Every structure is written in C-alpha cells, then in structure tokens.
Amino acid sequence: MDADTREGAKGMQMSGRGAGKLGRVGFGLAAAGITAILVVHWMMAFWVPTEAAQGVVQRIFYIHVPAAWTTFVAVGLAALASLAFLWLEDERWDATAVAAAEGALVFGAIMLLTGPLWGRIAWGTYWTWEPRLTLTLLMWFMYVGYFLVRESVASPARARRFASVVAVIGSLNIPLIHVSPDWFPSLHPQAVVIKPDGPDLPADMLITLLTSLAGFTMLFFGLFTLRYAIIILHRQRRIGAPSRLATGH
Amino acid sequence: MTSLRWIGLIAMKDLRQEFRSGGRVIAMLAFAVLACFLFSFSLDRSRVDGLDVAAGLLWLTVLFSSIAGAGRTFDAEEDDGAFRHLLLAPVSRHAIYLGKTVANLVLVCLVAALAAAALTIFFGIAEPGSAAHHASVLFPGAIGLAAAGTFFGLISRHSTLGDSLLPVLTLPVLAPLISLGATASSRVFLGRPWAEIGGSVRLLWAIAIGLVVVGSLLFRYITEE
C-alpha cells in the first residue's frame, strides 16, 4: 500500500450498511425535492399572480433565486468541508467537499443560465458587468478549476489538498456577492426576503418562493448525500476494503 | 535568523538564479513587448484612440506575461529536487512563499514598466500621464499578480495540465484586481487628478494584501509531502 493509498484510507470506516442507509436517505430527499419543484411549476403556471411591473418573465424568479441560494449553500459547505479536511486530514471531509462542489457546479449553472434569460427581458440585455453577476461567474469558474485540479494532479493525496485550497479561495467572495447590490447599486435587484424589516413580497409569491427554496434545498441535499455515499464506497473499493454492501454480507 | 531575512535571502537567490539563466526574464519581457506590438496594429487606429484602450491593454499584457512567468516559478528547483531540500530547511513556509513572491514581484514590475513604455511608444501617446501615478497604480497590482501567480504556479506545476491550468485558477481571483487597475490606469493616462484615482488604488492595495495573506496562510497545505 503506497503513501497515497494509506492516506486515502484515513477516515474510510463507513460500513456498507451505513452507506446503504445514506443512499436511501439521499434518494428520499432528492425525490421529495423533485416533487416540490414540480409543484412549484404548477404554482408558477396556474396559481401565483403575474407581477405587475415585469410581467410573465418574473416567474423565472422562482427558479433563479432558489438555484442561487442552493449554489451558495453548496459552495459554503464545500469550503467548510475543505477547511476541515485541511485541518483534520479526514477523508470523509474531502468526500463531503467533492459532493458539495458538484452541487455548486450544477446549481450554479442553473443560476447562471436562468439569470440572463430573466435579464434579457427585465433589463434588455443578457449580461451586464455588474458586481454580483461578475463575482458569481468568477466563483463558478473557481469551482471548474477545483475539478480540473482534482483530475489533473497525479498524486491523489496532493490533488485532494490542492483542490481543498482552491475550494477555500473560491468561497472567499461569497460575502462580497451577498453585499454587492447594497455596496455597488446596480441593475441587480436587492434582497426581497432576507431583510431586517421582513420580506416585502405578496403572500402568494412568498409561498411559491419558499416552496421552491425547500424543493431545491432538498434536491441538493438528496444528491449530495447520494454522491457522498458513492464516493466513500468507491474509495473503500479502491483501497481494498470492500464494504458489506459491495460483498453482499 | 528572522523571517524577514529569510524572505530576503530566498528572493535574492531566486532573482540571482533568474538573471543568471535569463530564460524566464527574457521570455516575460519579450512577450510583453510583442503583445503591445501586436495590439498596436490589430486595432483600427483610425477609429480607436490609443488613450482609450491603453490602460486595458497594459493590464492585460502584464497579466498574461505574469501568468506565463509564474508557471515557471518552481520549475528549476522542482526539476533538480532543490525545492524539497528548501522545504526541509528550518525556514517557515510563510517565508518561502513570501520570498518567492518578492522575486516574482520584481519580475512583474519590470514587465509592467516595459509594457507601459512600449504601449506609449507603439500607440504614439504624447502625454501618457504622471509616471509616479502610473507606478502607484501598477505596484499594488503587481503585488497581487505575484502573490496569486506564485501560489497557483506551484499547483499547476504538479498538474498534468501544466500551464493550461494556471489561467483557470488565477484569472477568477485576479479579475477584480485587473478591473480596478485598468480603471485607475485609464484615469492616469487621461491625466485626471489623484482624487479620482486614490479610491481605486486603496482597493487595489486591499486586494493585494488580501491575496498575500491568504497565499501565505494556505501555502503550507500545498507544500506538504
């Protein structure tokens, strides 16, 4: 067993039964999330009223905002797990970071695709170089770099450390992204839900948004849990410690 | 021996090595001049005023030249195993990182000075603004470029993607620095008063110091064997 494999074995004690349980939890959460998102689509089409100023295009808000929320949850989780991995060198934290970073890429892509579609009608342009959009795009590219580092560094132990560092650096602009519409007034709307004086959305719009937020969050944590279990099982198999789930015992 | 002395010794060692071999320094400077030369005739000068685009082109030239150079920061030492010995020496990782960053900073400053002169000549800019103001804007930018380049240079050195990985990692980190720097330099080229430039320069310093601190704190994690 070489040094990389020995290091990879650290923290790989999850049993196959544990992985199976995690997998079922993940599957359940993902299914609940997809169901909630389907309900949100029905609410967007038939229930929630059309916003007076922007018209029908405003309905993309119920997808864009939850996708953005989920992206930042995923990036925050990936960064915290990466910090924990750098500190404790426990493999499970690295698996947590990878599963969260995959979510950050996927939900970030949804956010970056729906934003311009909304902006084209609301602002008259697909893209504008304002701080929140720019910083979010840059953060997303840092997470592209995270996976490039993981895949392109030959030593697995070194790849994990390098990628963890990239994840930490990539998350440093989350606070800036959050405050940028207040610090640098621009076309991007300011917060309408998380405000000191409470949300200023009509009740039916708020219910639709909160349902969508719950759906996206459950979908993310469902996929995250499934991926975490798969990564752990995959690594157990690689280091020659087949789990009970894999052997059927 | 104090950390400051180690930083100075490592920086001097790297610079002596660079100037003796000459390869990386010449490549970076040649790249900067050639990029400015290409910019000067790739733009339709009858429609584009040199003053309008000089700042953006200056920062892009310095950025790309720095990235090209940063990718080679650790090459010589990694190839002959000297870097591993440096890590075994009783020197803090902060000092190693800062020493290498200082050495890279000297090279980036040389590139910036040469690129500014080349752009002024190739674009025929008669009044390019105060040299002191240009230096005040470019220096914190060069610190940021050197800090990020040194840090990510080591990561890309161990990647099979090599130099193609370096821009993917550095450009997202450096984009705010380049944006602010180009805005400030543009005002210097236009001869605007310092009051209109000072705010951007303060932000440039904040980003540059932030990059040095983060790089310094995280460097030990990318040098563990």
Confidence of residue A175 (pLDDT cuts 50, 70, 90): confident
Task: With CA atoms as reference, report the closest residue to A9 among A218, A236, A193, A222.
Answer: A236
DSSP structure class, residue A191? P
For residue B94, give every residue at least 6 positions away whose Cβ sits within 8 Å of its Cβ, in sequence order, or none.
Answer: B3, B216, B219, B220
Confidence of residue A103 (pLDDT cuts 50, 70, 90): very high
Q: Which residue has the higher pLDDT, B137 or A171?
A: B137
Query: What is the 3-class SS of B82-114, one letter each residue?
Result: HHHHHHHCCCCHHHHHHHHHHHHHHHHHHHHHH
pLDDT of residue B201: 93
For residue A53, give every residue at least 6 positions away whose Cβ sits within 8 Å of its Cβ, in sequence order, or none.
Answer: none
Q: Which of A162, A183, A186 to mutate to test the interface with B (most CBs of B within 10 A)?
A: A162
The single-letter code of the amino acid at B180 is L
Residue A217 has pLDDT above 80, yes or no: yes
Query: Mean of the pLDDT values across residues A157-174?
Result: 91
CA–CA dist B140, B184 (Å, integer): 12
pLDDT of residue B85: 86
pLDDT of residue A187: 63
Task: With CA atoms as reference, report the closest residue to A63 among A110, A7, A5.
Answer: A110
Tokens of A116: 């311009």
pLDDT, tens digit, 9 for 90 and up, residues A12-66: 566 667 777 888 899 999 999 999 999 999 998 888 888 777 777 788 889 999 9
Chain A contact for B169, CB < 8 A?
Answer: yes
Residue B184 has pLDDT above 90, yes or no: yes
Q: Nearest-CA distance from B57 to chain A in Å? A: 18
Query: Residue B180, SS3?
Result: helix
User: Which among A86, A138, A154 is the nearest to B221, CB-wise?
Assistant: A86
pLDDT of residue B79: 75
pLDDT of residue A203: 83
Residue B48 has pLDDT above 90, yes or no: no
Q: B222 vs A168: CB contact, 8 Å cut-off?
A: no
Confidence of residue A199 (pLDDT cuts 50, 70, 90): low
User: Which among B175, B176, B221 is the nearest to A165, CB-wise?
Assistant: B221
pLDDT of residue A13: 60
Note whether B146 and B65 are within 8 A (CB).
Answer: no
Residue A218 has pLDDT above 90, yes or no: yes
Q: Which residue has the higher pLDDT, A154 or A202?
A: A154
CA–CA dist A71, A207 (Å, integer): 21
pLDDT, tens digit, 9 for 90 and up, residues A152-164: 998 888 999 999 9
* B82-99: burial string, b at 16+ Cβ within 10 Å, e else: ebeebeeeebebbbbbbb
Residue B41 has pLDDT above 50, yes or no: yes
Residue A248 has pLDDT above 80, yes or no: no
Q: A169 vs B176: CB contact, 8 Å cut-off?
A: no
Q: How far is CA A214 from CA A60, A69, A109, A219, B128, in A?
A: 16, 10, 19, 8, 56
For residue A153, give every residue at least 6 positions away whose Cβ sits within 8 Å of its Cβ, in sequence order, or none.
Answer: A159, A162, B155, B158, B159, B160
The single-letter code of the amino acid at A10 is K
Which residue is closest to A149 within chain B, CA to CA? B159
What's chain A's average pLDDT? 83
Chain A contact for B222, CB < 8 A?
Answer: yes
CA–CA dist B96, B113 (Å, integer): 26
Residue B151 has pLDDT above 90, yes or no: yes
Most confident of B41-45, B60-64, B161-165: B60-64
How many Cα atoms occupy the beta-carbon half-sphere of A57 within 13 Å? 13
Q: Would you list the domain boundaries of chain A? A: 14-247
Query: Mean of the pLDDT values across residues A210-217?
Result: 95
* A117-129: burial string, b at 16+ Cβ within 10 Å, e else: ebbeebeeeeeee
pLDDT of residue A245: 41
Chain A contact for B172, CB < 8 A?
Answer: yes
Note whether A167 and A78 are within 8 A (CB).
Answer: yes
Query: Mean of the pLDDT values across residues B73-102?
Result: 86
CA–CA dist B63, A119 (Å, integer): 31
